[in-house]
Structure 1
């Protein structure tokens, strides 16, 4: 599969993992492989990989560029902002490190549906739930994110005001690929179905 032009992939590894009782979600295993390595295996062939962290010491042995948050402890928006400022590509596919089922099909589909008039391309479901940590963001968002952070609004949903939102349930894509793991119970549940 060819690399997608002017796109990078950002894996968000910030977060305090409170609901996982301090265990970092990127290093949970599924089929004897960490979530992080599973995500890289699933989509890494499409574009260069970058890792977003709030503390670089957690990823000492990673061979991908690591981008530390400029603003600490403000959630995913901090990692997206810090990375859009430093990654030399116009578009960045952002994925949470707790989404081990993410697929190349999703990245390719969103890439094929980038709308230059919008700031990001994301998926929703039939209930209107948005999936901002599996979407493509444009560098055009940088000034908006900066203004939002300075006003202490850290909600990703505010960034969706000028988004191209695609209902995944009207596409050939699989909603199960967007599952994210937040708690030990959710982790145990996915281990049982593997």
Structure 2
């Protein structure tokens, strides 16, 4: 079930983007966090009638050539043993251990380096099709990534972003320097940052209190339609 098992040293090759040929877009749902503050697995919360990991994967299927759910290697046995839905989805085990979401992004880019990756974290319960469509429309393949600005500080949000193939060599260099913040990569290398049409899209949920608030927001949004 684990799609990526390559080991050894990967030599970084700088890829020059061809603006006349848009790289094919894959999707990546990040579920490798340990959910310590939440006290339960965030990717299994049913915000929209199904577990969030499956909701996001199904959503990205409408826009991406292939969609993978990114997980820690030790998660895969529990996932395949306890959930009958797992065979309907593709899983990608992190080859980088304990470096946070950068490990999932690096793994994906090394797995299929010719593809761009639409990366989505599992702790964004307000994310819907309109936001995904808007991000894709605004995509600039000449940049290393296209990302929304975080409403709190206007910095780019790396965990709902399109990472282009030529970001791989940069991420590898940052990893070699033990610089493990995807956000810092986007800032330092001038990713395209755009304003989200709905700031609630980037609502991040990490605690039970935040989860309660998010549920109220989702309910209110549904009643307003």
Q: Which category of TM-score, normalised to the shorter sequence, fits these structures?
A: 0.7 to 0.9
The residue that corresponds to 1:90 in the other structure is: 115
Cα-Cα RMSD:
2.1
Q: Distance in 2 between matches of 1:163 and 1:97?
A: 22
Please say if 1:142 is aligned against 2:168: yes
The residue that corresponds to 2:134 in the other structure is: 109
Deviation at 1:88, TM superposition (A): 6.3
Q: Distance in 1 between matches of 2:216 and 2:129?
A: 24
Report the structure number with the largest CA radius of gyration.
Answer: 2
Point out where structure 2 has 5 or more consecutive residues left out of the alignment.
Answer: 1-21, 220-225
The residue that corresponds to 1:59 in the other structure is: 79
Please say if 1:130 is aligned against 2:147: no
Write 1 or 2 for the structure with the bigger share of strand: 1
Instruction: Decide whether aligned partners of structure 1 residues 31 and 163 sit closer, same or farther in structure 2, where only a CA change above 3 A counts.
Output: closer
Deviation at 1:18, TM superposition (A): 1.2
Are the aligned partners of 2:30 and 2:119 in contact in 1 as well (CA < 8 Å)? yes
Please say if 1:16 is aligned against 2:40: no
The residue that corresponds to 1:184 in the other structure is: 208
The residue that corresponds to 2:16 in the other structure is: none
The residue that corresponds to 1:25 in the other structure is: 42
Are the aligned partners of 1:39 and 1:101 in contact in 2 as well (CA < 8 Å)? no
Point out where structure 1 has 5 or more consecutive residues left out of the alignment.
Answer: none
Q: Map Cα deviations across residues 115-141 of structure 1 (whole Å, 9 max, x no partner).
A: 232100001156414211110001111
The residue that corresponds to 1:35 in the other structure is: 52
The residue that corresponds to 2:195 in the other structure is: 167
Deviation at 1:158, TM superposition (A): 2.2
Q: Distance in 2 between matches of 1:150 and 1:65?
A: 28
Q: Distance in 2 between matches of 1:87 and 1:135?
A: 17
Deviation at 1:189, TM superposition (A): 1.8
Are the aligned partners of 1:12 and 1:95 in contact in 2 as well (CA < 8 Å)? yes
Stretch moving more, 115-124 or 84-93: 84-93
Aligned residues: 186
